[in-house]
Amino acid sequence: MGIDLLYDGKFDDAESLFRRVIVGSPDKPIGYFYLAMVTWSRMTTGFWSPSTVMEYKARIDRAIDVATSRIENNSMDSYDFFYLGGALGFKGRFELMQTKWFSSFSLAVKAAKALKTCQKMAPENRDVLLGLGIFDYYTARLSGVVKFISYLFIHRGDREEGLRKLHLAAKEAVYSATEAKSMLIHIYLFLEEDFIKSMKLSEELAKKYRQNPRYRFFLGVCYIRLGLDREYRDTVKLLRQRSLQAKTLSEESLWGKRALYLEIVYDLFHKQCHDARAKLTVILNKKDALNDPEMIAWPLIKMGMSYDLEGNREEAFNYYRDVLNMENGSGAQFLAKRLLETPLRQNDPFIGY
């Protein structure tokens, strides 16, 4: 399935496949939506250059336009509402990462409306539960100005209902099961701090997507949080083995850096900040903006965290500001903003990000 190519990091193959879908069905939103997901997937692996961001915006807007046109021309089916809701939802997630609260929530409300229409037209469709579950869960967890905005839209959210929908999507959805599982990994690892549930989901996806180090890394973080040192060290060893078995220098570096990065997470959770900085220096001395920009911005965040944990707020600020000023912040800038406002606390779950 083309969607699996995205989660295994085979972006060029996915791009070719979804372009063929557009050629075969140029008047339907499906191909345009998944072409936008190719760019989104690149962004989630650190490729946040201005050109990539512009490409994402253009592609997601094209998917919205095609779906909207079919609905306005009364030639729609339930999947036009599904892809409209999906595209609006992913556009809202992008706006959220830019801390554009009102725009993000407005898009989320429109996305939920489209997905509910799809659900009414096709009650057996479980794929809609991904977006609806995300909407319910995250609006229930809102605080401050964002919670006020949710009141303006008269939506209170429901944490338990959101989790129920996400689990049902993970189990029964045709197209969005993996994304639902990925979302649940993040929720349980970084928000709910239920490491057993996150571990089980990470194990499943790490086995399925063997070319993607992300799920293996999250599994290692779960082991750290659970105090399973042997399993954590086995994960580091596996990442290093994949580096040694790599067929290209860029692949060798990618897996090797993830092994080091996981060790850094372990060091920071165990207050071994000097050791963490030594490993971070190794990664930052081998910067590869072309093939692995993620391992520039995020190690800089970790460098700042190491000083924050030692109470050296001034030095931590320098690193967070560096990330905030980067042209390609690899998605780390949302966390840099948060850390500039609030010092990192010991055992903060985002040490594991």
Is 95 inside any structural domain?
Answer: no
Is there a domain that residue 88 lies in? no
Question: Do both 181 and 291 map to the same domain?
Answer: no
Q: What pLDDT score was predicted for residue 155?
A: 54
181 and 110 within one domain: yes
User: Is the pTM value of this prediction over 0.85?
Assistant: yes
User: What pLDDT shows up at residue 143?
Assistant: 55
Number of domains in the chain: 3
Place of tokens 């949080």: 225
Q: What is the C-alpha separation between 117 and 101, in angstroms, rounded?
A: 25
Domain that holds residue 249: 208-353
Tell me: do 158 and 246 sit in the same domain.
no
* Alpha-carbon span 185 to 203, nearest angstrom: 10
- Judgement on whether residues 236 and 279 belong to the same structural domain of the protein: yes
Non-local (6+) Cβ contacts of 246 within 8 A are 252, 254, 255
330 and 213: one domain?
Answer: yes
Distances 16 to 21, 33, 83, 194, 348 between C-alpha atoms, Å = 9, 14, 20, 38, 41
Judge whether 197 lies within some domain: no
Domain boundary residue, one of 76, 92, 110: 76
- Token match 């801390």: residue? 99
Are the C-beta atoms of 79 and 118 separated by less than 8 Å? Answer: yes
**Same-domain status, 320 and 236:** yes
Domain-embedded: residue 201: no
Contacts 24+ apart (CB under 8 A), 147-156: 149/101, 149/102, 149/105, 150/105, 153/105, 153/106, 153/109, 155/109
Residue 178 confidence (pLDDT)? 97
Question: 35, 61, 76 — which closes off a domain?
Answer: 76
Neighbours of 262 (CB within 10 A): 26
Residues 6+ apart with CB under 8 A from 220: 232, 235, 236, 239, 262, 265
Per-residue model confidence (pLDDT) at position 102: 82
Strand blocks (E) in the chain: none
CA of 137: how far to CAs of 89, 132, 146, in Å? Answer: 14, 9, 14
Q: What is the mean pLDDT of each run of 10 residues along the chain (353 residues)?
A: 91 96 96 97 93 97 97 92 96 87 87 96 96 91 51 64 97 96 97 97 97 97 98 98 95 97 98 98 95 96 98 97 94 94 94 97
Ramachandran area for residue 330 (φ above 0: left; ψ -120 to 50: alpha; else beta): left
- Say if CB 189 and CB 221 are below 8 A apart: yes
Tell me which residue of 224, 229, 259, 228 sits closest to 241, measured CA to CA.
259
In a domain, 199, yes or no: no
- How many other C-beta atoms can be found within 10 angstroms of the C-beta atom of residue 278? 12
- The confidence score (pLDDT) of residue 96 equals 84
**Quick one: residue 26, left, alpha or beta (phi over 0 = left, psi -120 to 50 = alpha)?**
alpha
Query: End of a domain among 151, 167, 192?
Result: 192
Handedness of CA 285, 286, 288, 293 (dihedral sign): negative
Distance CA 304, CA 277 (A): 10
Is residue 89 in a domain?
no
Whether 180 and 276 share a structural domain: no
340 and 225 in a common domain: yes
Instruction: Please report whether residue 308 resides in a domain.
Output: yes
* pLDDT at site 151: 42
Can you tell me the distance from the alpha carbon of 143 to that of 134, in angstroms, rounded to the nearest whole number? 16
Q: Are the CB atoms for 28 and 63 separated by under 8 Å?
A: no
Does one domain contain both 353 and 227? yes
In a domain, 253, yes or no: yes
Instruction: Verify that 349 and 250 share a domain, yes or no.
Output: yes
For the chain, the first-to-last Cα distance in angstroms comes to 28
To which residue do tokens 């725009």 refer?
103
Residues 317 and 226 occupy one common structural domain: yes
CATH number at residue 307: 1.25.40
Please report the pLDDT score of residue 146 as a whole number: 47
The answer to whether 336 and 320 have CB atoms below 8 angstroms apart is yes
Burial class (CB in 10 A: 0-12, 13-18, 19+), 19: middle
The answer to whether residues 68 and 23 belong to one domain is yes
